[in-house]
Chains A and B, each alone.
Chain A
Amino acid sequence: MKDRTMDRLADSAPSRHSGEPVADIRNPGDAFIQAEIDSNRRFEWLLPLKGFAALGVVLVLVVIRKLFFE
């Protein structure tokens, strides 16, 4: 079966950053591109949350060790 993951990732991008569809997707205009940059920049703020989640998994292991194996 064809994997559609990347289609969704790619196809969702054009309309995500602006209220209206872009007239010429090959040259969407500065406002659209700037909105995309701002959106991508905001997206990076998920990284600290993801880092904390990963640390949380490690912490669970350490707590299990402390509680049951020491």
Chain B
Amino acid sequence: MTGSDWGEFFGAAIEWTLLALVATGAIPVLSASLAFIAIPFHAVINHYGKAKPYLPRVAIIIPAWNEGLVIGQSIERLMALEYPRESLHIYVVDDASTDDTPDVILAKAAIYPDNVFHLRREQGGQGKAHTLNHGIDVVLKDDWMEALLIMDADVIYMPNSLRRMTRHLADPKVGAVSAYIREGSRDRNYLTRFIGLEYILSQPAARRAQNVLGAQACLAGGAQLHTRENLLAIGGRIDTATLAEDTITTFETQLQGRMVVFEPLAVVLAEEPRTIDALWKQRLRWARGNVSVTSKYKKIWFRPSRKHNLGSVSFGIVWFSIWLLPVAMITSSIGLLGLLFLQSDLALHAFRALWIFAACAFVFILALGAQVDSQLALRNWRELFTFPGVISMVVMLTAFFPQILLTWIPGLFGLRLTENGLFILTVAIYVWIPFSMVVAWLARKVESTAVGPVVAPILIYLAGYGSLLCAITFDSYIKEARHAEAVWQKTEKTGRVSR
């Protein structure tokens, strides 16, 4: 080969490498699209055929640390469940609360002496898993409990929700059932509305798809029902070594060969963070927990097994697409910029292909997701239309209908894009996706300032709620790399949930 041949060879190799980097951006989009395409199959592949009338004796464990504002209402809601009262035992594990939580629980125990029990931990603050284990030790001491419901202190169960969960336990192959945690704050703001939409997409939508795939990623922390047999099979305890106790429980259940079922019609209302800072702390805990889970179960990924579906290729792609989404966003941009600076024709084609695909996927996902819980989606219509972020929508629009941004809009003002202007605009578009994470991070930084209440929401609407979540995941990489201390921080709840 001559020098010129080698030059061409290396040029082509670099071009294809950059193209491969661009393609990494398509993997999460493809994964999400495939998951949502699976949702309609829930009409055929679901567990209702094996569900039967079944009302086991249920022990409910509520971990409570300074929950005086919410615990009374939660107990009342549980006592109003459409479920035989003699089959309900509510154990509130008071994690050394310093407010009036013990008084509220004891008052309820006096009203419902056969149903409500106060368990006190004198040394608290070790985290939710330790608190739960205190209650589990108690309920396992005798054989009254046939099923265990783990919930949060602030959530509100719809009257028919527990009955709709227990019917799946009639199938002995089922180890655990999860419900739909629906954002239910009384005084909603832009962030709780985004969270409400996220929960629609991630629960009644995506978890239906996981029912179809036969593997569930995570039982809802605020609504998970286990059979006694399953609880004993996973060791009779909740994992205390990580921040992802719910995911560990979910994985262990399935690794034991038991099914985890998501019941989309069992609805539980929950209060969600109203500030970016509170959301960041909550999700950082979840994201760091997922890092531990990914590492703990490194031997199951992409290794299909007859016992469970956690090792299936489809589930592996779903899991890693979410976990590595920020990486894909960055590598995809690097690929596009690289091609652009090489003056390769592939840059424009790759950009169009990627973003047209992303636009179609977003539209499909949001259109289907909105129908899955249309009432909540309609109420949050502003956030529905801006869910990917206003600027990302403009980028999608540019890929889909290039004339609009490049010709029509400048034409309205009698302008025409110069070659330099077009180049700068192209660079801006190509770097936007990773940069949107920086904008989301900035939103958190300005939130606590005087202009925060106005500027922070604007930045989130511009950058997109997804970019905010990706920024948090990226932060979890940094924290893990620095081996930063992983501490359990409770999300503050103030009793804002209402039916």
CB distance from A34 to the nearest CB of B (A): 6
| Beta-carbon contacts under 8 Å, A6-56 to B | 6-7, 9-11, 13-14, 25-30, 33-34, 36-38, 40-41, 43-48, 50-55
B364-372, B386-394, B437-445 - interface stretch: B364-372
Task: Compute how far the CA of A7 lies from the CA of B80 in the bound complex, rounded to whole angstroms.
Answer: 13
CB < 8 Å neighbour of B359 from A3, A11, A61? A61
A14-B82, A30-B53, A37-B167 given; A69·B401 CB < 8 A: yes
Residues of chain A within 8 A of B46, CB atoms compared: 41, 44
User: Contacts of B186 on A, CB cut-off 8 Å?
Assistant: 2-3
- Interface-side segment among B35-43, B138-146, B316-324: B35-43
Are A37 and B48 interface neighbours, CB within 8 A? yes
Residues on the B chain within 8 Å of A58, using CB: 360, 363-364, 367
By the criterion CB–CB under 8 Å, are B158 and A10 in contact? yes
Nearest to B374 among chain A residues (CB) is A50
Chain A: how many interface residues by the 8 Å CB criterion? 43
User: Which of B40, B184, B402 has most A Cβ within 10 Å?
Assistant: B40
Q: How far is the CA of A27 from the CA of B81 in the complex (A)?
A: 10
Q: How far apart are B78's CB and chain A's nearest CB, in angstroms?
A: 12
Given contacts A27-B55, A47-B39, A65-B400, contact A54 B267 (CB under 8 A): no
Q: Is the CB of B401 within 8 A of A26?
A: no
List chain A residues, Cβ under 8 A from B158. 6, 9-10
In this assembly, does B236 line the interface, its C-beta being within 8 Å of a C-beta of chain A? no
Q: Provided the pairs A6-B158, A27-B84, A37-B52 are in contact, do residues A54 and B43 lie with their beta carbons within 8 angstroms?
A: no
| Chain B residue, CB-CB nearest to A26 | B84
Is B163 in contact with chain A by the CB < 8 A criterion? yes
Question: Quick check: is B421 within 8 A (CB to CB) of the other chain?
Answer: no
- Once the chains bind, are A6 and B400 in contact (CB under 8 Å)? no
SS class, residues of chain B in contact with chain A:
helix
Q: List chain A residues, Cβ under 8 A from B164.
A: 36, 40
Q: How far is the CA of A14 from the CA of B83 in the complex (A)?
A: 12
Indicate if the CB atoms of B499 and A13 lie closer than 8 Å: no
B359 touches A47 (CB 8 A): no
Q: Is B160 an interface residue (CB 8 A)?
A: yes
Distance in Å: Cβ of A8 to nearest Cβ of chain B:
9
Residue B491 interfacial (CB < 8 Å)? no
| Given A58-B367, A65-B400: A37 and B51 interface contact (C-beta under 8 Å) | yes
Residues in chain B near residue A69, CB distance under 8 A:
400-403
Residues of A within 8 A of B52 (CB): 34, 37
**Could you list some 22 contacts between A and B, CB below 8 A?**
A2-B186, A3-B499, A7-B499, A9-B267, A13-B159, A25-B82, A26-B81, A37-B52, A37-B53, A38-B48, A40-B48, A43-B265, A47-B40, A51-B40, A53-B371, A54-B363, A54-B367, A57-B367, A58-B364, A61-B363, A69-B400, A69-B401
Question: Which residues in B have some Cβ–Cβ distance to A below 8 Å?
Answer: 36-37, 39-43, 46, 48-49, 51-53, 55, 81-85, 158-160, 163-164, 167, 182, 184, 186, 208, 265, 267, 269, 359-360, 363-365, 367-368, 371-372, 375-376, 379, 400-403, 498-499
* Additional 5 contacts, C-beta under 8 A, given A6-B269, A11-B159, A52-B40: A26-B83, A30-B53, A33-B167, A47-B39, A69-B400
Q: Which 7 A-B pairs have the closest CB atoms?
A: A51-B40, A33-B53, A54-B367, A41-B48, A54-B368, A30-B53, A50-B371
